[in-house]
Chain A
Amino acid sequence: MQILAQLIVSGISVGMVYGVIAFGYQLTFSTSKTLNFGQGEALMLGALVGLTTINFLIGHAIATLPAFLLMLPVVLAFGLLQGAVVEFFGVRQAVKAKSDAGWIMATIALGVVFKNMAENIWGHDALRFPSPLPEAALSFGGVRVQPMEIAIVVGALLLMVAVEVFNRKSIYGKAVVATANDRDAAGLMGIDTRLVIMFSYALSSMTAAFAGVLVAPVTLTGATMGAVLGLKAFAVAIIGGLSSGVGVVVGGLILGVVENLTGFYISTGYKDVPGLLLLLLVLSLKPAGLFGAAAIKKV
């Protein structure tokens, strides 16, 4: 029982990271029906920018926890900017030309560019990210959790709630929702849909960058850290449904927990298999995802 709880708890924290990256996919998909396939790289850049910032702050005799909190706005701002860049260079032309595949190639290409840039700036080795919280694990009835794992879950939830509230309550958010519903109609109502799409990309990369600094203290930071996470989050987005914010979170948790359970009870060699099986199953039975609304395409 204790082992089961341990596996589930560890799975939840990993799953939450998948979820928050997938949430970023969902943000841009809802406004423009496009995704940033360089989402993993956005996460990696966020983590590395965070690493440089936090090391700079720690170098100026600031304790790790305040340094981490001070670093967050820098990383979030960087994420916003990076997302806007991706939209401007990778997606805008493709959306304008109503190209079906242009944005796919462009966002993948930008991802490669970002990865190479990061390799040139930060080098090729995995780097250690200072942990803002004590690294010693806490024990809850035998289930051991690192404080940072709790921070991942709380932080990811807070960020997603904040973005959702922003989208629902603020006037900018209303424009986002309007664009998501019907881009042409929103345009006719005087909403600058181009700006809205750019903004959704900015938000999307911001969540990825945030996920990057959340996960970095429990893993390692480096130019290649985004690849696996970005891919898994993509599977999560498909499982949960690209049109549902709740769906991707649930999808993330499912994948994280199932991976761990399979690893322990079946074989660690098959850890990645159930995720892929689940993906195929969802695609064949409920293509819009577990929580996605079925898309009706009028011709």
Chain B
Amino acid sequence: MTVTKYILALSAATALSSAAMAADAIKVGLSGPYTGGSSSMGVSMRDGAKLAVDEINKAGGVNGAVIQLVERDDEAKNEVGVQVAQELINKEKVVATLGFINTGVAQAGERFYQEAEIPVLNNVATGSILTRQWPNEKQNFVFRNAANDTIQSAMIADEAITRQGFKKPAILSDSTNYGQLGKDDMMAALKKLNVSPVAIEKFNIGDTDMTAQVLKAKEANADVVLTYAIGPELAQIANAMAKLGWKVPLVGSWTLSMASYIDTAGANGDGAIMPETFIEMPTTPKRKAFIEAYHKAYGGDRMPSPVSAAQGYDSVYLLAAAIRQAKSTDGRKLLAALENLNEKVEGVVTTYDHPFSATDHEAISPNIPVMGLVKNGRVVPAHPEDLQGDKALRVKPKG
């Protein structure tokens, strides 16, 4: 046998065996920022998803096949998100994709899945529009298991105005889509409560001095600051408030629980309040098991972004249930299964009982998240009674 023949035979053999493996595996895309400023959310989401896939595969997979995650880094950049979507659809031929942390990337990438009729389980990005991007199309392939900005902004307004009795909110948001759309949602939520903000300020990503913004809110006699921005700039706000010797509560979107806020604002960051679908506390047996498994697999004693990890984990189980029910990986059949999921899925965030319908692609309802509070570098419940007893497990109301 010549060397050439030997190599040919060998490569043929490996090609055969890898083809055999691929036939058994269900390929699922995982798109998120694993590098860059949003990476703490992306990496936690990925870790949560991998944990769920490992558990499912160890228990025998789905319909006799194992799930294989195809991870791609979208770098939180819209154009990279588009490339990733095209690669996952056309080259990797995934049956569904999980992920999307940034609303802009989701908007840019998800329309390719819509065209290819492949379901997306959007597990972190919060832009309200994401689950209704194509109102005129018959079918919508985008689902979400994260608390959207409409829910979050209403919770923020409710917490600040109704629950804590503040009357003069100032809104500070960044100039990205996330910040500006969130600001609009928050204005609408405040309007429903007949309160108008005394100051509306914005800033750019990378701004190092927030004196002007914070001073304006202070001079307008704001009694609470509502925020829609991401970690590092939120830390700058907390630091500028401390510098100006101005102490009013900070209530804002869930990004106030980002490690880049908590760690960089240090003591100045304590007391910030935000809506959370999951707080890293063993309030249910499922959550206890999840927290233990996470730290066993990845070490540490604090998840970089517990919300992303939990939602990443749950999204895998939701998809697995849909594949089981559809007995197929065909996009349309998966869509039908997701819209009428008969199996009760016990997740970390909640127990999903018919989480989606043909008209409602949001698994998280306004009653599910609770307010979290930054205390000594960790997020704890702002109102411990919210998670006590039978309130620990909050499920979406029927209908």
Contact = CB atoms under 8 A, between A and B. Distances in A.
A144 interface: yes
B260 A126 contact: yes
B208 interface: yes
A229 B208 CA distance: 9
The secondary structure that dominates the A interface is helix
B37 A7 contact: no
Contact of A268 (B37, B202, B243): B202
Which interface class (under 10, 10 to 19, 20 to 34, 35 or more) fits A?
Answer: 35 or more
A224 B35 contact: no
Interface stretch (A84-92, A174-182, A214-222): A214-222
A168 interface: no
Nearest to B259: A125
B239 to A, nearest CB: 8
A215 B208 contact: yes
Given A124-B35, A125-B39, A264-B216, A269 B243 contact: no
Given A128-B266, A137-B242, A14 B209 contact: yes
Interface in B327-384: none
B245 A269 contact: no
Interface string B215-241: 110010000000000011001100100
B242 to A, nearest CB: 7
Contacts of B35: 119, 124
A163 interface: no
A263 B213 contact: yes
A167 interface: no
Interface in B307-339: none
Given A124-B35, A126-B232, A264-B216, A218 B208 contact: yes
Contacts of B242: 135, 137
Contacts of A264: 212, 215-216
Contact of B211 (A6, A219, A229): A6
Contacts of A11: 209, 211
Nearest to A215: B208
Nearest to A231: B206
Interface string B171-210: 0000100000000000000000000000001111011110
Interface in A105-127: 119, 124-127
B36 A124 contact: yes
A151 B199 CA distance: 32
B203 A224 contact: no
A213 to B, nearest CB: 14
Interface string A219-240: 1101011011100000000000
A219 B211 CA distance: 12
A248 B279 CA distance: 49
Contacts, number: 93
Interface centre among B201, B202, B208, B266 (most CB of A within 10 A): B208
A203 B207 CA distance: 27
Given A124-B35, A126-B232, A139-B245, A7 B202 contact: no
A145 B197 CA distance: 28
Contacts of B263: 127-128
A92 B234 CA distance: 42
B244 interface: yes
Given A6-B215, A218-B208, A227-B206, A124 B243 contact: no
Contacts of A219: 208, 236
Interface in A56-89: none
Given A6-B215, A126-B231, A269 B266 contact: no
B40 interface: yes
Contact of B212 (A218, A220, A268): A268
B107 interface: no
B207 A220 contact: no
A3 B211 CA distance: 10
A206 to B, nearest CB: 21
Contact of A124 (B39, B216, B264): B39
A126 B211 contact: no
B75 to A, nearest CB: 10
Given A125-B37, A128-B264, A219-B236, A7 B211 contact: yes
Contacts of B40: 125
Nearest to A225: B206
B266 A260 contact: no
Given A220-B232, A263-B213, A264-B215, A144 B204 contact: no
A7 B212 contact: yes
A137 B211 contact: no
A263 B208 contact: no
Nearest to B40: A125
A10 interface: yes
Contacts of B213: 263, 268
Nearest to A17: B208
Contacts of B37: 124-126, 224
Contacts of A228: 204, 206-208
B175 A269 contact: yes
Contacts of B264: 126-128, 220
18 contacts: A6-B211, A6-B215, A7-B215, A11-B209, A11-B211, A14-B208, A127-B264, A144-B245, A222-B232, A228-B206, A228-B207, A260-B211, A263-B212, A263-B216, A268-B216, A269-B202, A271-B207, A271-B212
Given A224-B206, A260-B211, 14 more contacts: A3-B215, A7-B212, A10-B212, A17-B208, A125-B260, A126-B231, A126-B235, A127-B264, A218-B208, A220-B264, A224-B37, A225-B206, A229-B208, A268-B201
Interface of B: 35-37, 39-40, 175, 201-204, 206-209, 211-213, 215-216, 219, 231-232, 235-236, 239, 242-245, 259-260, 263-264, 266
